[in-house]
Structure 1
Amino acid sequence: MPAPVCSIIILTYRRPEDLAIALESTGAQRLGDPFEVIVVDNSPEGSAQTQVERFAATASHRVIYVSEKTPGISSARNAGLGVARGELIAFLDDDQVADPEWLERMIAAQRANDAEAVFGWVEPYTKVEAPPYAEIFFDPLSRRFEIPSGRVPPKLIAKLGTNNSLFRASALDGKKTFDPTLNLTGGEDSAVIKKIAERGGTLVWCKEGRVREHVPPDRLRLGFLLERRFSSGQLRSRHFYAGPSRSYRQLAKWVAIGAVQATGGALLASSTLVVAPVFARKMLAEAAGGLGKVFFLDRFVVERYRRPPVEVVQPTPAEAAAEKTSAGG
């Protein structure tokens, strides 16, 4: 099998239905060049292995299953990069569905601009009836820049992420690309993107490279939105709190911005809750983002990707006896 032009990395954690649709969308790609799909399963039990191997048996492109038992988004991303062979690396979430022309258009944008990274359109959708204020929930899960395709304006770099993205492999650092200290909080992709931008790398927006992202009912709750915005605010301040980008001057700036954002958002939310409930919820989300910028220290950190404790299933007496007999020969 010829070397792939692109490696598509999909991280998954106990989402078999969404993963099936994501995999099917990779099989429908109209790219003439060879590519491969790498599925990194971050569940401790390797729950996706049979599903991925079944898909691989009939796929026209190479499909690789990787089990990464270290919990966390950075470890999973790095595991995928460790086996990727493509000169280009694409990231697709396991709850995303790529248009048939997605990969072709993303690669074309990379080649036309000699880009280090390309970012495409993310359109949220739900399988249930969405509340009238659903747009405020969709906003942090989407990427819908109403600007022409081309270089990403500096003011939008902070809104970029690896969901629906394509990188030149040489712009990354293989298995060491994503910071494992961000395994549970997230923000590992933003850190890499900022690093590429700071060294002068070309970041490109590809409006035509489209995917749809499934938003399940539990993400249409106000509590989820507020936690997500609070966490995102924390990551903005923490970027300057520790690590290679440490800058207490920048940190102080973002804490001050957060304080103003939190105060203004809370006041507007409380004063419009009755007359404009949708706007009030949006302002409450703004306030949560501001609070995150202020309360950025470790003791307040939201760990988005912390796994629930593994349930220990005790064997029945018969199973225990059988195991003891087997062990004793």
Structure 2
Amino acid sequence: MSEPGTPGVSVVICAYTENRWEDVLAAVASVRAQSRPALETLLVVDHNRALLDRLGKEYKEAEDVRVLANAGPRGLSAGRNTGIAASRGEIVAFLDDDAVAERDWLKHFAEAYADPRVMAVGGRTEPVWASGRRPVWFPEEFDWVVGCTYRGLPRGRVRVRNVLGGNASFRRGAFDAAGGFATGIGRDGGRHPLGGEETELCIRLGRARPDAVLLIDDRAVIHHRVPEARERFRYFRARTYAEGLSKALVARSVGTEKGLESERRYTTRVLPGGVLRGLRDALLARPGGARRAGAIVAGVLTAAGGYVVGSVRARRGGVTFSVVDVGGGVPRDGGRGGAGG
């Protein structure tokens, strides 16, 4: 239950595979252990009947956990929209199904909403590497590849263009103003590990509510498990290429000026600094320096290639995407995009 005088927070966790069974249970347990209790936890299962039934039995007696089936098309965006539509809290927070939140996660989110202008608050996501430590070649500037906070993001509680979806919260009024997550953008079980759905929503929110304040508070921490397969360079290349496809679709939806605003600073300031650090480490005979510098260059080139391919597909008429009214569950806007699964 919420504390008197504070906004109720609903937590949405989207799950899709029984392979993450223990992770899902750990995610729910971390929400239940919050110093600032959640109003409810909604587990949204993405078109997996066996997992839906199993989780339904697991939490059958729980008053604070509800298990729901994704009411939309397959994918993370539709799953989140299902959770939003079913939630009762004034604030809706999102936690990845393979992450655990620190005890004060919701406390820091809720405090930021004391300012009525604040429409979204994100946090810091730390990687938990399956091998026990960061691969020596993996640059911190690319931690977004594994769904984590990356070098280059500002520290403290600061204003940002967009929050990152696996560790984020929104005021309900944000969805009333801008609609939900666009389906056709982001993870959908296809062969490309797409993303960008939270970026597109946040930019759309800024247009619908020019006075809206979006924040990241790096005290709101979660720990995100990185499986061994995602520690490999093969996944790194696939994810950076998919990010390029995703950015093309986001730019198609909201325009290149806003869609690539933060990315310009990232590619012109943050990444060159990372290359220089890697080369310096190589000169000092520190492990992996040259490989980190090379990975940054490879990541930029691969993402750029994905963006070009996505932009060409967009001009030819790519995948249809739609923005859902999470109150009524019907499309309120739509377009043609260039990234596909």
- Equivalent positions of 1:21-100 (< 5 A) are 21-31=26-36, 35-55=39-59, 57=61, 59=62, 62-68=64-70, 70-100=73-103
* Aligned residues with identical type, % of pairs: 23
The equivalent position to 2:15 in structure 1, one of 12, 15, 29, is 12
**Partner in structure 1 of residue 247 of structure 2:** 236
Matched, 1:147 2:155: yes
Could you tell me which amino acid in structure 2 is paired with residue 178 of structure 1? F
**Partner in structure 2 of residue 321 of structure 1:** none
- Equivalent positions of 1:237-316 (< 5 A) are 237-241=248-252, 243=253, 245-246=254-255, 276-296=290-310, 297-298=312-313, 303=340
Structure 1 residues 113 and 208, CA, compared in 2 at 3 Å: closer, same or farther?
farther
Q: What is the CA–CA distance in structure 2 between the aligned matches of 1:52 and 1:224, rounded to whole Å?
A: 33
Q: What is the CA–CA distance in structure 2 between the aligned matches of 1:127 and 1:277, rounded to whole Å?
A: 20
Could you tell me which amino acid in structure 1 is paired with residue 149 of structure 2? R
Could you tell me which amino acid in structure 2 is paired with residue 162 of structure 1? G
Report which of the two structures shows the higher radius of gyration computed on alpha carbons: 1
Calculate the TM-score normalised by the size of structure 2: 0.72
**Partner in structure 1 of residue 332 of structure 2:** none
| Aligned-partner SS, 2:67 | strand
Q: What is the CA–CA distance in structure 1 between the aligned matches of 2:115 and 2:169, rounded to whole Å?
A: 14
**Partner in structure 2 of residue 202 of structure 1:** 213
Q: What is the CA–CA distance in structure 1 between the aligned matches of 2:129 and 2:60, rounded to whole Å?
A: 28
- Aligned Cα root-mean-square deviation (Å): 3.5
Unaligned runs of at least 5 residues, structure 1:
307-329
Work out whether residues 143 and 149 of structure 2, in 8 Å CA contact, stay in contact via their aligned partners in 1: no
Structure 1 residues 162 and 77, CA, compared in 2 at 3 Å: closer, same or farther?
same
**Partner in structure 1 of residue 166 of structure 2:** 163
Structure 1 residues 134 and 234, CA, compared in 2 at 3 Å: closer, same or farther?
same
Could you tell me which amino acid in structure 2 is paired with residue 133 of structure 1? W
Measured after TM superposition, the shift of residue 302 of structure 1 is 6.1
Could you tell me which amino acid in structure 1 is paired with residue 201 of structure 2? V
Structure 1 residues 101 and 181, CA, compared in 2 at 3 Å: closer, same or farther?
same
Measured after TM superposition, the shift of residue 146 of structure 1 is 4.4
165-174 or 1-10: bigger deviation = 1-10
Measured after TM superposition, the shift of residue 30 of structure 1 is 1.1
| Aligned-partner SS, 1:104 | helix
Q: What is the CA–CA distance in structure 2 between the aligned matches of 1:287 and 1:18, rounded to whole Å?
A: 34
Could you tell me which amino acid in structure 1 is paired with residue 67 of structure 2? Y
**Partner in structure 2 of residue 310 of structure 1:** none
Unaligned runs of at least 5 residues, structure 2:
189-193, 283-287, 320-337
Could you tell me which amino acid in structure 1 is paired with residue 80 of structure 2? R
**Partner in structure 2 of residue 107 of structure 1:** 110
Structure with greater strand percent: 2
Matched, 1:227 2:241: no
Could you tell me which amino acid in structure 2 is paired with residue 26 of structure 1? V
Q: What is the CA–CA distance in structure 1 between the aligned matches of 2:90 and 2:221, rounded to whole Å?
A: 21
Measured after TM superposition, the shift of residue 56 of structure 1 is 5.4
Q: What is the CA–CA distance in structure 2 between the aligned matches of 1:24 and 1:229, rounded to whole Å?
A: 32
Measured after TM superposition, the shift of residue 68 of structure 1 is 1.7
Q: What is the CA–CA distance in structure 2 between the aligned matches of 1:101 and 1:56, rounded to whole Å?
A: 27
| Aligned-partner SS, 2:49 | coil
Measured after TM superposition, the shift of residue 282 of structure 1 is 2.0
Measured after TM superposition, the shift of residue 202 of structure 1 is 0.6
Work out whether residues 81 and 175 of structure 1, in 8 Å CA contact, stay in contact via their aligned partners in 2: no
Structure 1 residues 289 and 196, CA, compared in 2 at 3 Å: closer, same or farther?
same
Number of residue pairs matched? 282
Could you tell me which amino acid in structure 2 is paired with residue 12 of structure 1? A
Q: What is the CA–CA distance in structure 2 between the aligned matches of 1:39 and 1:195, rounded to whole Å?
A: 26
Could you tell me which amino acid in structure 2 is paired with residue 64 of structure 1? R
